[in-house]
Amino acid sequence: MNLLQEYEKQQNWRGWERYLQFIPMSQNDSVVDLGCSVGDVSRIFSLRVKDVLGIDINQEFIDFCESNKSSNETFICTDFLNLDSLSVKPINGIWSSYSLSYLRDPLNFLISTHSLMKHGGWIALLDVSCFISGNLEKNSKYYERVRRFELESYKSGIYDFNFGAKIQGLLQSAGFEIVHIDNDVTDPELNFSGAAPKEIIEGWAARLSRMQRLKAELETEYADFCQELLSSLCSDQHEKRGNVRFVVAKKSNKSMQPTAYAAAD
C-alpha cells in the first residue's frame, strides 16, 4: 500500500461531514483547504461554497485531486507558507486537518492568515494531541520515552505531536475569536474507545512503518514497541484520551490585535 492509497483509505474513517455544522460558512465563501491531501474535504466544501482552493506540497496528491476535481475547485502544489504570495481571491474560510502541526512557527502563519482573511471569515482546524503516546497504555515501558520523543520533535520544529492542544491558544493569539471547541473528538482510528477493527490496525501498522525517526530512537526495541502499541489498540480496554481536537474561529468585525502566546509542552 503506497502513501496515496493509505490516505485514500483513511478518508473512510474521518467523517468529515460532521464538522460542517460548527462552521459559519455561506454559499458565497471562497475556501482554502490547507494540506488538501487526496481532496475529500475540498470536494465536500465545493458542494456548499462558491469555490475552493486546495494546497498541498505532495505533487502526487495534487495530480490525483486534479483528475477528480469539480468546476469550482483549483489545486496547487506548493508549501502553504506561500499562501500570501498566491494570486487567490479574498479568503472567507480556511480548513486545515492534520497539517499545521508540520509548521515550525504556526503562530506567525496564523497571524499572516488572519490579515489575508475578510472580516467575518472563518478558520477551522482539526489536529492531533499526544498522537502516539496518547494511544499507548500509561504503564507501558515506552510511554515516557515516546512522550520525550514527541516533545523533542516539537522543539526541533519537525512535527508537533501535541499541536491539537495548542490550537485554541494559537488562534486567539493570532487575533481570531473562538466560536466552537471540541477537545475530545471521536475518531475511529486516532481517538476511540474499545478494540479497533482489523482495517484500523492495518492503517496503524502502515503508519508505524513510515516513522523512521521514532524507529531510530527506539532502535532494536522498535518492533516490540510497535507490537505493544498495536496490541493496545486491539484491546477492549483501550480508551480515548483527547487525542483529536477541533476548533473553529472567525475574524471578528471588531479590531482584535494579535497577543502574546506561550507555547505549552
Q: So what's the pLDDT on residue 90?
A: 81
Is 262 part of a structural domain of the chain? Answer: no
Is 260 part of a structural domain of the chain? Answer: no
Is 179 part of a structural domain of the chain? Answer: yes
Is 258 part of a structural domain of the chain? Answer: no
The better pLDDT of the pair 228, 87 is held by 228
pLDDT tens by residue, 133-175? 999 999 999 999 999 999 999 999 999 999 999 999 999 999 9
CATH number at residue 84: 3.40.50.150
Q: Are 82 and 112 in contact (CB under 8 A)?
A: no
Q: Who contacts 107 (Cβ-Cβ below 8 Å, separation ≥6)? A: 170, 173, 174, 261
Is 255 part of a structural domain of the chain? Answer: no
pLDDT at 257 over 60: no
Q: What is the CA radius of gyration of the chain?
A: 19
Name the grid cell of 256: 482584535
Q: So what's the pLDDT on residue 200?
A: 95
Is 243 part of a structural domain of the chain? Answer: yes
- Predicted TM-score (pTM) of the model is 0.92
The C-alpha atoms of residue 245 and residue 101 are separated, in whole angstroms, by: 12
Is 140 part of a structural domain of the chain? Answer: yes
pLDDT tens by residue, 14-63? 999 999 999 999 999 999 999 999 999 999 999 999 999 999 999 999 99
Tally of domains in the chain: 1
Cα dist from 65 to 3, 50, 97, 127, whole Å: 14, 18, 16, 22
Domain that holds residue 149: 3-250
Is 265 part of a structural domain of the chain? Answer: no
